[in-house]
């Protein structure tokens, strides 16, 4: 009788152990699924790009829209720049190079209104409110600062930039289109250089000389 009871208890304990193990594994899978979902959701709602720390494309261009409206309202020009990064050295990791470029450009921005954004897989953008045609020299400095961080022949950096006066035609869409056209033209005709266009005015004081 005692042996029978022992065998029954042993079987019950084994079944209970199996049941608990299955329950624990099920909970682990649920927790893992929830963790993946939570990480994906945080990435989705975050305004910053996880790889570079720059603003994601959508919030960056929303900020561009806001700054264009403010430029017209306060009668101040602004500058938009796009930097295209292409690897020439196959041994160089693109994510590392992009992150390094973003860090360097971020340190170049010193004013609260300046913004760095990631507008595509291989392009970063800079938004500089209250600037004028002298921002071209700043574009050159940014280009040289990033180039200096790499060995010659490792990467190709092409920068397109435009300074816009606060006319009634100024909008985020228009600014983005013109800078994109400037960058595309630079990539076709002068890759690896800075191409800067400005609407000139003598009525504004320079902030980047």
The Cα–Cα gap between 90 and 111 comes to: 36
Residues 90 and 161 in one domain: yes
The Cα–Cα gap between 192 and 160 comes to: 10
Name the residue range of residue 109's domain.
Answer: 57-198
- In this prediction, residue 205 carries a pLDDT of 42
- In this prediction, residue 41 carries a pLDDT of 44
Q: How many domains does the chain have?
A: 2
**Residue 31 included in any domain:** yes
180-208 pLDDT, tens digit per residue, is 999 999 999 999 999 999 975 544 444 44
Is residue 6 classed exposed, middle or buried when 0-12, 13-18 and 19+ CB atoms within 10 A define those classes?
exposed
Tell me the pTM: 0.75
Q: Enter the tokens of residue 200.
A: 């000139």
Q: How many residues does the chain have?
A: 209
The Cα–Cα gap between 194 and 133 comes to: 14
Residues 4 and 65 in one domain: no
39-58 pLDDT, tens digit per residue, is 554 444 478 999 999 999 99
Residues 99 and 26 in one domain: no
**Under the phi-then-psi rule, with left for phi > 0, alpha for psi from -120 to 50, and beta for the rest, what region is 130?**
left
**Residue 205 included in any domain:** no
């Amino acid at each position: 009788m005692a042996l029978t009871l022992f065998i029954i208890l042993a079987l019950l304990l084994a079944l209970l152990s199996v049941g608990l193990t299955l329950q624990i594994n099920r909970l682990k899978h649920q927790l893992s699924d929830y963790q993946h979902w939570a990480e994906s959701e945080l990435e989705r709602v975050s305004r910053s790009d996880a790889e570079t720390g720059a603003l994601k494309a959508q919030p960056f261009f929303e900020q561009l829209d806001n700054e264009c409206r403010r430029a017209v309202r306060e009668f101040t020009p602004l500058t938009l720049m796009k930097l295209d990064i292409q690897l020439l050295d196959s041994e160089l990791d693109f994510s590392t190079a992009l992150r390094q470029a973003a860090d360097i450009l971020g340190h170049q921005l010193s004013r609260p209104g300046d913004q760095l954004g990631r507008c595509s897989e291989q392009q970063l953008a800079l938004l500089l409110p209250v600037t004028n045609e002298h921002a071209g020299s700043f574009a050159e400095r940014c280009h040289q600062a990033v180039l200096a961080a790499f060995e010659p022949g490792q990467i190709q950096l092409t920068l397109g930039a435009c300074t816009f006066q606060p006319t009634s035609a100024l909008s985020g869409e228009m600014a983005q289109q013109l800078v994109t056209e400037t960058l595309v033209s630079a990539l076709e005709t002068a890759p690896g250089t800075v191409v800067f266009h400005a609407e000139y005015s003598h009525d504004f004081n320079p902030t980047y000389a």
